[in-house]
Structure 1
Amino acid sequence: MTETKRTSTPSQESLTTSDPAMLRALAHPLRIEILAILDEIGEATASEIATRTGQTVANCSFHLRSLEKAGYVERAEPRGREKPWRPAHRKRSIEPDPDDATAVRQSGVISAGYVQHEAARLTEFLTDPRPLPPEWVRAVTVSTAGVWATAAEMEQLSHDVLALLERFAGRSTDPTLRPEGAVRGHMLLTLNPERDSI
């Protein structure tokens, strides 16, 4: 199936939330997958999402409406009789109240869902038998590292790494910012303390 990336623009730049209701809205793996699809292709109808996920159109429509109610997705411009959806924000960040154990657990479940989604995507990519051109083989990185750091140092390290991505800002929605030969890439970054050492 050939699919064109659409450059539908979200109505808002970013979302940072600790709202328990918003966190609960993401506590379903299909909703995480739907958001990942919309982030990747810009916009899609419930039918297009159903095709990609293997779910029914009715089920995808239900979860899209739930995501809309929570503020994660919104309607894009109609395409004839088609009514596509798009992410409501370019970026999302979940920051639970550290003193609210329930919110911390909920955000952990949501984050684990994203990790599982990305791990499945990465596994599919790495085990794909089709060869890559040599320059792209060298561009693929899978690495792990152990660090000894304080909580403040780990937090700063996360901010520093994410700040490096700012030089690519805007390229998803504005193709004129992409240099010749640019392709869409994915990055999975995790950093956490070992619980037994805290």
Structure 2
Amino acid sequence: MIRDTARSSTAGPPGSDPDYTDEVTVNNETSQASGDVPRRKRAEKTVEITDPKAIRALAHAARLEVISELYATQVSHTATELAARTGLTPSAMSYHLRALQKWGIVAPAENAGDARERRWKAAGTDFTISGGSVASPEIAVVDLELDAFRRRASAFAKARGERRQRGETGEEPAAVVLSSNLLYLTNPQRRELLDRIRAVLREYELEDPTQIPEGAERVATLWSMIPDDRVAPGQ
């Protein structure tokens, strides 16, 4: 889980309150089909990034895609496999993987093999960006996460339109959900809300991400909590 990407993303601009933490979250993109599917119980290890240089290193669409894939699925991949997902060459992807390894975000998997077949894995189960008072780097990351969401939404809309043109008009669930709220929350309430949403998302994470239930499909979620500094009407 990245605390944006795939798994859901939660982000907010830094405030003056020392208790406030910016986070970008990517949740497991494989949904549960039934209550009989084992939920995640594996040992957790959070990789937290606080160095502004490391945060700036994340401001690249391909790197965020890699982080999302590795942390969401907890499955190792080669540079060639990841390159195919991002449209890069394997050599370019190897460069990005080494950059992520430098900051302890990814690591070579066991039995990694030679450079061409080396497999890479997430360095933990959860990934957190804690920017503190450093604004620009994590905002750049948020922009990339939003761009990724737009690409997913556009690709889904295009694919659904093509299915309808082919006459494949079977009943479809409300596959795309987008809603917004304005709340007044204290810092403890913000933390409580964040913890509760994380807990709900964890209920749908698989114990073994490679054992996907029949009928399940990847679902990307995006969730945000951003302080609204605009003046409210009447104030």
TM superposition score category, shorter chain reference: 0.7 to 0.9
- Contact 2:46/2:124, CA 8 A, preserved across alignment: yes
RMSD over aligned CA atoms reads 3.0
- Contact 1:16/1:93, CA 8 A, preserved across alignment: yes
Change in 2 beyond 3 A, CA 1:33/1:174: closer
- If asked which structure has higher relative contact order (CA below 8 Å, sep 6+), I would say 2
User: Which digits, 9 at most, give the CA deviation of each residue in 1:122-158, with x for residues without a partner?
Assistant: 3212331235753xx2252412222231353444333
Change in 2 beyond 3 A, CA 1:133/1:116: same
Change in 2 beyond 3 A, CA 1:43/1:141: same
Change in 2 beyond 3 A, CA 1:162/1:11: closer
Paired residue total: 182
**Partner amino acid for 2:229?**
R
Structure 1 residue 112 corresponds to structure 2 residue 143: yes
Q: Helix, strand or coil for the counterpart of 1:195?
A: coil
User: Which digits, 9 at most, give the CA deviation of each residue in 1:177-197, with x for residues without a partner?
Assistant: x65543332211123233323
- Contact 1:21/1:70, CA 8 A, preserved across alignment: no
Structure 1 residue 186 corresponds to structure 2 residue 220: yes
**Partner amino acid for 2:45?**
E
- Contact 2:71/2:127, CA 8 A, preserved across alignment: no
Mind listing any 5+ residue stretches in structure 1 that lack a counterpart? Answer: none
Whole-angstrom CA distance in 2 between matches of 1:112 and 1:106: 10
Structure 1 residue 50 corresponds to structure 2 residue 83: yes
User: Which digits, 9 at most, give the CA deviation of each residue in 1:73-113, with x for residues without a partner?
Assistant: 1112347652111111221111222xx2xx23211211221
Q: Which of 7, 15, 29 in structure 1 is aligned with 2:47?
A: 15
How high is the TM-score relative to the length of structure 1? Answer: 0.75
Change in 2 beyond 3 A, CA 1:36/1:148: closer
Change in 2 beyond 3 A, CA 1:147/1:154: farther
Change in 2 beyond 3 A, CA 1:24/1:12: farther
Higher helix residue share: 1
Q: Helix, strand or coil for the counterpart of 1:164?
A: helix
- Contact 1:17/1:94, CA 8 A, preserved across alignment: yes
Structure 1 residue 159 corresponds to structure 2 residue 195: yes
How high is the TM-score relative to the length of structure 2? Answer: 0.65
Structure 1 residue 91 corresponds to structure 2 residue 91: no
- Contact 2:112/2:120, CA 8 A, preserved across alignment: no
Change in 2 beyond 3 A, CA 1:194/1:132: farther
